[in-house]
Structure 1
Amino acid sequence: MNELAQTATTEPLFNPLSPDYIRNPYPSYERLRTTDPMHLTPFGAYVASRHAEVSLVLRDKRFGKDFVERSSRRYGPQIMEEPVFRNMRHWMLQQDPPDHTRLRGLVVKAFTARRVEDMRPRIQQVVDQTLDRIVDQGHMDLIEDFAFRLPVTIICDMLGIPEEHREVFYTGARNGGRLLDPVPLSRAEIDEGNTGNLMAQAYFQQLFELRRRSPGDDLTTQLVQAEEDGSKLSNEELTGNIILLFGAGHETTVNLIGNGLLALHRNPDQLALLNADPALIGNAVEEFLRYDSSVQMTGRVALEDIDDLGGKKIPKGESVLCLLGSANRDPAVYPDRPDRLDIQRPNVRPLSFGGGIHFCLGAQLARIEAEIAIATLLRRLPDLRLDDAENPEWRPTFVLRGLKTLPASW
């Protein structure tokens, strides 16, 4: 069946960096779900596209991250000497218990529902200030001028990054996403990753010094104090996880806001519905997450031989790539036209934040940021129109799905 499917379409079933895939991966996902739901790629990883297998792998203790082993299998053991890989190996996102448990335990308090809920007024203030600055221009790029500033400001607040240091973060390049893609990196891409990572490390070392001298009520201070304890956190772990928190704290939320606004403007009936009843925003954000997830994929490694996953044997050490974006549109879970945007859809429970022990720490924060950003934009600029909703420019990455620009006028 697999070979037939591939001949029929004359292209690989899973080709995540092709321009067509970047523009719209969903037809390919449907093909995977129906013809080969546990697809073995040419580079040796299994791709899970149905909700059942994806949700199982995310929660099953027989699967883990095994980052060092996985990266060494792909690139050779010398890859761990590259600064960016050496840094990533300490990310809690790439760790298995007990290290994962220890690292996550150090930061989880900053993301409790209570603390995040208390941030609503500050989030509203940032959104209003952002709009105040541009409302008279009549034109903006919704990504750079709007979606980007909010989560960057909030994560800077949380990490205790001083106001006078922030301009570089607002104008910084957003090209780290390629490091997470399932297609091996070229030498040039590894070099670029190293450069960006070493610059980030240099900045955060200065921030750690600052917070050792003058502690604040922020996450960096909290982690610096854990590092000084010695048993809780090494300097490499401190650096790696602050870089992770900074990136994860804004990248995906920028994409959620951008992808949500694009989806609304491509579906004017849904936009009209939300304008008529702003109380729908909470459910609308869940539907944006499901409909066009800002994280399309997450990976796990089999920690033991798996006899049967969707009809395939998965040998120990093999990677399983979980297509979150595909699982979110699986008709087995969303029988009512899963490819349609429906902000009133009942029981939306997207897998966009992952699952199991790696469930996204900032899920609630991202939801609230998107709710306030989108609701405020619709309220304050009711006649906003996208310059080109049909052919927007997507960023050339697959795992992190988001727009490069989204020009709009009012």
Structure 2
Amino acid sequence: MAVFNPFLPSYQADPYPAYAALRAEDPVHFSAAIQAWVLTTHEDCERVLRDQETFSSSSDTASGQLATVLQQQRREFPLGEVPTVLNSDPPVHTRLRTLLNRAFTPRAIEGLRPHIEDIAASLLADAGRTGGRFDAVTGFAQPLPIIVIAELLGVPPEDRDQLKEWSTAIANTTNVLNTEDALAAARQATMELIAYMDEIVAQRRAAPGADIMTALVQAEEGGERLSHDELLAFSILLLLAGHETTTNLIGNGLLALTEHPEAAAGLRAEPDLLPSAVEEFLRYDSSVQGAVRFARETVEVRGRTIERGSTLLLLLGAANRDPAQFPEPDALDVARSPNRHLSFGRGVHFCLGAPLARLEGDVAFRALLDRFTELRVAEGGAERSGTLVLRGMGKLVLEV
């Protein structure tokens, strides 16, 4: 019988064979390793994501290892008790989402395209000219979204590296193998980031600008505004969700193109397929591999009884390769349509930053394909990184 054990080295290297075995043999699987129910089919994951009445995003009343870790982090981390769109349910979530939507309009996001194109071109201008090799992660996939997020938040260029350090430290809280030192570093990074963003918020209140932070400060609906703590908490969430996941999207997608040169050639021949390709990269090797929910009541899923308070880990990476939903799910098809991947979630928690992630992905892959006539990984140049729910590349050195 298949088991889910994210502590195995083979899991980080390539989780998809384990996903396939679980989906075939035990699609609603109780993992002793993390004390949670693990769901692997597209149908079941989508059902849970859409049903916020039965499955909560808040760990407050849940049990199990994952829930306990999340509860501890919320108690111990600065602003941990402040609800966000990620960890709240309606009506709290509805209020937050409505206010945030005021700043994240499709028109506002698409208006960023020319500037993001300039950023991408600048990052790739000198790629490989000094030594014939270029780490596309540290030289492109990491700085592109951090520059974009920094500018959205009103952070000056000289502070971007510090922003990246804080983001990396805090993102490590999603690792099931966290050490106490790593958690202490994450708490310290959170405190420093809050103090820093507190100054940014104060500046935008005193002197409004043209950035997203100003729009968030000014957002109002029915006389409601985001509180000061809500602004700070969302700033942290935006940094983490908007940076780490987009870095992973670019890194994972680029690796896929190096492994499928015919796909890269097809995109060069038909660049209009790039939006479709971004969706396929999100499906094929998702930067977000899992989402966590908590049972509000005892419920049955595919014949298994899940008790009230139980933790559920929805393996989006497994759902995105479910043959019941996707023909030839293990094949990379940049023209795949329809492509109902779950990488941005479903229902009321559908990713607020999806339009920005899609835009950055589109710009990034256009720039990479224009800059490099051939995409080839240097020997020993590919290295994975990730946590329980995040999957990306630690390095991806190209021969150029």
TM-score by length of 1: 0.89
- Out of 52, 57, 68, the position equivalent to 1:65 is 57
Q: Which runs of 4+ in 1 moved over 4 A?
A: 75-80, 170-173
Say yes or no: does 1:28 pair with 2:18: yes
Q: For structure 1, which runs of at least 5 residues remain unmatched after alignment?
A: 7-12
Query: 1:151 is matched with which residue?
Result: 145
Q: Which moved more, 1:345-354 or 1:167-176?
A: 167-176
Greater helix share, 1 or 2? 1
SS at match of 2:255: helix
Say yes or no: does 1:233 pair with 2:226: yes
Query: 1:48 is matched with which residue?
Result: 39
SS at match of 2:61: helix
Counterpart of 1:157, as a letter, is E
- Out of 73, 76, 82, the position equivalent to 1:82 is 76
Distance across 2 between alignment mates of 1:77 and 1:39: 23
Query: 1:368 is matched with which residue?
Result: 359
SS at match of 1:320: strand
Query: 1:107 is matched with which residue?
Result: 100
Superposition deviation, residue 304 in structure 1: 1.9
Sort the Cα spacing of 1:166 and 1:88 in 2 relative to 1 into closer, same or farther, 3 A: farther
1:227-272 CA distances to partner (integer Å, 9 max, x unpaired)? 9x99533332221111101111111111101100000101122222
User: After the TM superposition, which residues 287-306 of structure 1 pair with which residues of structure 2 at under 5 Å, given as runs?
Assistant: 287-306=280-299
- Out of 314, 322, 327, the position equivalent to 2:306 is 314
SS at match of 2:313: strand
1:139-185 CA distances to partner (integer Å, 9 max, x unpaired)? 2210111111221111122222233433423566624333234x374
CA contact (8 A) 1:386 1:409 kept: yes
Query: 1:258 is matched with which residue?
Result: 251
Query: 1:128 is matched with which residue?
Result: 121
1:315-335 CA distances to partner (integer Å, 9 max, x unpaired)? 221111111000000000113
Counterpart of 1:150, as a letter, is L
Distance across 1 between alignment mates of 2:103 and 2:254: 28
Counterpart of 1:338, as a letter, is P
Distance across 2 between alignment mates of 1:170 and 1:320: 30
CA contact (8 A) 1:89 1:95 kept: no
Say yes or no: does 1:408 pair with 2:398: yes
Query: 1:174 is matched with which residue?
Result: 168
Query: 1:9 is matched with which residue?
Result: none
Superposition deviation, residue 370 in structure 1: 0.8
How many equivalent pairs are there?
Answer: 394
Question: RMSD of the TM alignment (CA)?
Answer: 2.4
User: After the TM superposition, which residues 334-353 of structure 1 pair with which residues of structure 2 at under 5 Å, given as runs?
Assistant: 334-335=326-327, 337-353=328-344
1:29-84 CA distances to partner (integer Å, 9 max, x unpaired)? 00110111000111431110001100000001311112333489525976543125
Counterpart of 2:173, as a letter, is L
Q: For structure 2, which runs of at least 5 residues remain unmatched after alignment?
A: none
User: After the TM superposition, which residues 184-333 of structure 1 pair with which residues of structure 2 at under 5 Å, given as runs?
Assistant: 185-225=178-218, 232-306=225-299, 308-333=300-325
Distance across 1 between alignment mates of 2:70 and 2:268: 54
SS at match of 2:373: coil
TM-score by length of 2: 0.91
Distance across 2 between alignment mates of 1:294 and 1:300: 18
Percent sequence identity over aligned pairs? 42
Distance across 1 between alignment mates of 2:72 and 2:399: 50
SS at match of 1:255: helix
CA contact (8 A) 1:48 1:320 kept: yes
Sort the Cα spacing of 1:93 and 1:170 in 2 relative to 1 into closer, same or farther, 3 A: closer
Query: 2:89 is matched with which residue?
Result: 96
- Out of 349, 368, 374, the position equivalent to 1:377 is 368
SS at match of 1:249: helix
CA contact (8 A) 2:385 2:394 kept: yes
Distance across 1 between alignment mates of 2:343 and 2:216: 27
Distance across 2 between alignment mates of 1:343 and 1:81: 44
Sort the Cα spacing of 1:192 and 1:88 in 2 relative to 1 into closer, same or farther, 3 A: farther
Distance across 2 between alignment mates of 1:291 and 1:124: 25
Distance across 1 between alignment mates of 2:263 and 2:170: 33
Counterpart of 1:387, as a letter, is A
Counterpart of 2:42, as a letter, is H
Counterpart of 1:395, as a letter, is S
Distance across 1 between alignment mates of 2:219 and 2:267: 45
Superposition deviation, residue 26 in structure 1: 0.1
Sort the Cα spacing of 1:110 and 1:232 in 2 relative to 1 into closer, same or farther, 3 A: closer
1:1-34 CA distances to partner (integer Å, 9 max, x unpaired)? xxxx15xxxxxx1112321101100000001101
Distance across 2 between alignment mates of 1:69 and 1:263: 40
1:294-344 CA distances to partner (integer Å, 9 max, x unpaired)? 0000011111221x2121112221111111000000000113x21111112
Distance across 2 between alignment mates of 1:328 and 1:281: 19
Q: Which moved more, 1:128-137 or 1:140-149?
A: 128-137
CA contact (8 A) 2:257 2:375 kept: no
